[in-house]
Structure 1
Amino acid sequence: MALGVRLDAGGRMPATAALDRVTARCGSVMRGVAGVVAAAAALMGLAPPVDPTVLVPAVAGLLCWSFFFTWAGWTYGLLPWVITVEVLITSALCVFQRELVARTLIGDSASWVGGLVTMTIVAVNLAWRAGPAVPAGLLVVLAHLYGSGAFAVAGIHVLQVGATAVLMSLLRRGAANADRELAAARDAEEKATVERERRRDERAQNSRMHGSVLATLMMIGAGGIAATSPMLRETAARHLADLDRMSEGGGTGPDHVPLHERLAAGAARSGLTIHTRLTPVSVPWEVAEAFLEAVAEAIANVVRHANVTVAAVTLTVTGDEVVVEVRDRGMGFEPADVPDHRYGLRVSILARMEMVGGRGVVESGPQGTKVTLRWAP
């Protein structure tokens, strides 16, 4: 920022950009007002030896420049070349102030030229850092001293240069500190997001493993699938394909698949007598996989715990919501009593549906168990 304040952030940090925007617009407005006030004071204070033919063109030029400075500063910021021209114009007015200011006001800090000196010092420090701003401000002070010979006023102007330079340095340092803290917070949030995504992917893979491969092995162990069953070979092939996709980076299958067909095929391979009532509907591949794995886990629980050979699977669509229910009339259980080391309900049913934006509910009692799975786009 040694070369001027620009209004476009241009990828810079937000606190510094906000400070630059405020200082540019405030500085441009203050300089415009100061120019109008100085012009009015110059005309109202017209007195010998000031020649109107010299003063009026100078005031007209001052007004034109003041209006341009305000427009440029408000629109584009305090551009380096604009500030440079401002320093030169004010210095020129200071050098020739004996032809522009009444003799009684020469050397008075309240003269219209003295007011412009103060405003130029402020504008320079708003636009530039202390390195170039202080020499530029002192140049204007020396020009005023040359034209007026007033050392007391020059001392006041030197104090103005130092005070505004210190103030803007503190403001810029505070903005830079805020930007560093914001950047650190943003980096921490990005790292936390990456870690959350990594854990989510890990949970998804663990859930898929439990809901598919391990669920099938448990059904074999419980006698729900015969070791020589053709359905077992088909299921194993599908699970191997899933594992291949996970090992290659978690790739998915087709965009949408017919959920009712996949559920019907899964019910036919379950080893139980499954009564189905399935409304045709297609859902995204990953959603279908979540439904299938959750239903497979629910059926596996029927095989392992319900002590029945019959269950029912229904698929309905209400509005945009897809609902799948798995019911049995076997021995119920209390979901709250399921040990923490048993992951079937929590991971392969409830958590698996949550991973695709759905939800699951398990209800159980003496008359049986109902697992309800819901998803909506």
Structure 2
Amino acid sequence: MLEARLLATVSRLAGPVRGACVVLVSLFGAFSLNSALGWALFAIVAVSTVADFWLPEVALPVAFLRVVVLSLLLGADADQWVLTVLTTTLITWQWQWPLKVTVPATAALLAVQVVTTGPGVLVRAVLESVLARLAYELLRRSSRRVDRLRERAAEQSRAAAVALDQGRREREYLALLHDTAAATFLMAAHGGDPDEVAAQARRDLVVLAERGDAEGTVDLGAALTAVARASSVDVRVQAEVVRVPAGVALQFVRAARELLTNVERHSGTSSARLTVTPGVVLVEDDGRGFVPGEVPEHRRGLTGSVVGRLEAVGGTAVVESAPGRGTTARLTWPADD
């Protein structure tokens, strides 16, 4: 993640930046004093920066003591030297440690400065510390926002790739459906031998089911919407995206086609409703209705073409109807399977 890498880099560089700046400032300070004390303090500062470069675990207390030593020994003789080292220390602290560490350390160091050199340092030191912390927080928030944008773009890319693959699989399956079932229907329409037609239909079902299991799932809502559009009945469709195995979708398609055919032939109405939700398909009409228990056994439309097909794939089909109250067919399949 960009945020983690960026903050780790800033924290890692804060110590060396502090050490380099402190050495450079102290060099100019020693030159300006041009005394034995100045050069001795420069040597002490140079040695102490070892912690800034290579010992981050003790860098904070070493930096604290370094500023205190300069303040006590130089006092007003080199106020710019002390002040610059102080502000450099406070600024880089904000980049290297969290607030729970820097706030008490900063307060303690400023208290020492007020005691040794007076309150004149407070305004500049506090202001620069606050600005350094704000810059750090802004950097962190910006990098976090970039991470979120990258994650969102990656999710969209993955979703587009999945949708593209699913679309390809569905097109392949529909093409296979056309090449198998359509040919069988054509054979039946031209008076083909019933045994041959039945055998061909069984082969088609095996091919489609095996291909469906190999290729994943199809959108049941889209498949049944296509069935409704091809029906001579005026069907009002409400379909969600419901992904089911291709073999299951095929049985739903055949059952729904049979139900819409029954609406056309027997209901006395020219309209119906088709609702597709996860696990449930409803086919409803407001026609004349009938008594399901009184349907003769030799009429296999409901039991064979609807109930039997759903049971073959682990689903159920329940038809509810009454004279004058229309008909509702409820097709279900376990959506979690």
> What is the TM-score when the length of structure 2 is the normalising length?
0.51
Deviation (angstroms), 1:162: 1.6
In the alignment, which of 201, 208, 214 is matched to residue 243 of structure 1?
208
The residue that corresponds to 1:23 in the other structure is 10
User: Superposition pairs for residues 320-335 of structure 1, below 5 Å?
Assistant: none
Closer/same/farther in 2, CA of residues 59 and 32 from structure 1, 3 Å limit: closer
Distance 2:16 2:190 in 1: 83
The residue that corresponds to 2:166 in the other structure is 198
Closer/same/farther in 2, CA of residues 212 and 181 from structure 1, 3 Å limit: same
Please state whether the residue corresponding to 2:74 is helix, strand or coil. Answer: coil
Deviation (angstroms), 1:247: 4.6
Deviation (angstroms), 1:47: 5.5
> Are residues 1:169 and 2:156 paired?
no
The residue that corresponds to 2:59 in the other structure is 86
User: Superposition pairs for residues 282-297 of structure 1, below 5 Å?
Assistant: none
Closer/same/farther in 2, CA of residues 201 and 143 from structure 1, 3 Å limit: farther
Tell me which protein shows more helix as a share of its residues.
2
Whether the 8 Å contact between 2:188 and 2:194 is mirrored in structure 1 is yes
Closer/same/farther in 2, CA of residues 218 and 92 from structure 1, 3 Å limit: same
Whether the 8 Å contact between 2:71 and 2:117 is mirrored in structure 1 is no
Whether the 8 Å contact between 2:30 and 2:38 is mirrored in structure 1 is no
The residue that corresponds to 1:140 in the other structure is 109
User: Superposition pairs for residues 269-284 of structure 1, below 5 Å?
Assistant: none
Deviation (angstroms), 1:152: 0.8
Closer/same/farther in 2, CA of residues 49 and 104 from structure 1, 3 Å limit: farther
Whether the 8 Å contact between 2:12 and 2:96 is mirrored in structure 1 is no
The residue that corresponds to 1:55 in the other structure is 41
Distance 1:180 1:114 in 2: 40
Distance 1:172 1:67 in 2: 23
Distance 1:217 1:164 in 2: 78
Deviation (angstroms), 1:205: 1.6
- Residues 149-194 of structure 1: CA deviation (Å, up to 9, x unaligned): 2311132111111222222223323333333343334334434443
User: Superposition pairs for residues 194-343 of structure 1, below 5 Å?
Assistant: 194-218=162-186, 221=189, 233=199, 239-250=204-215
User: Superposition pairs for residues 75-114 of structure 1, below 5 Å?
Assistant: 82=56, 85-98=58-71, 100-101=73-74, 104-105=77-78, 108=79, 110-111=80-81, 113-114=82-83
Closer/same/farther in 2, CA of residues 200 and 136 from structure 1, 3 Å limit: farther
Whether the 8 Å contact between 2:23 and 2:42 is mirrored in structure 1 is no
Structure having greater relative contact order (Cα 8 Å, sep ≥ 6): 1
Question: How many corresponding residue pairs?
Answer: 216
- Residues 324-343 of structure 1: CA deviation (Å, up to 9, x unaligned): xxxxxxxxxxxxxxxxxxxx
Closer/same/farther in 2, CA of residues 162 and 102 from structure 1, 3 Å limit: closer
The code of the aligned residue for 2:77 comes to T
Distance 2:27 2:54 in 1: 18
Root mean square deviation of aligned Cα:
3.6
Whether the 8 Å contact between 1:91 and 1:140 is mirrored in structure 2 is yes
Whether the 8 Å contact between 2:90 and 2:129 is mirrored in structure 1 is yes
Closer/same/farther in 2, CA of residues 237 and 50 from structure 1, 3 Å limit: same
The residue that corresponds to 2:230 in the other structure is none
Whether the 8 Å contact between 1:51 and 1:99 is mirrored in structure 2 is no
> Are residues 1:182 and 2:112 paired?
no
> What is the TM-score when the length of structure 1 is the normalising length?
0.47
The code of the aligned residue for 2:102 comes to A
Runs of 4+ in 1 over 6 A off after TM superposition: 225-229
The code of the aligned residue for 1:158 comes to V
Closer/same/farther in 2, CA of residues 102 and 35 from structure 1, 3 Å limit: same
- Residues 218-270 of structure 1: CA deviation (Å, up to 9, x unaligned): 356468x87666x995x66653432232353537xxxxxxxxxxxxxxxxxxx
The code of the aligned residue for 2:94 comes to N
The residue that corresponds to 1:122 in the other structure is 91
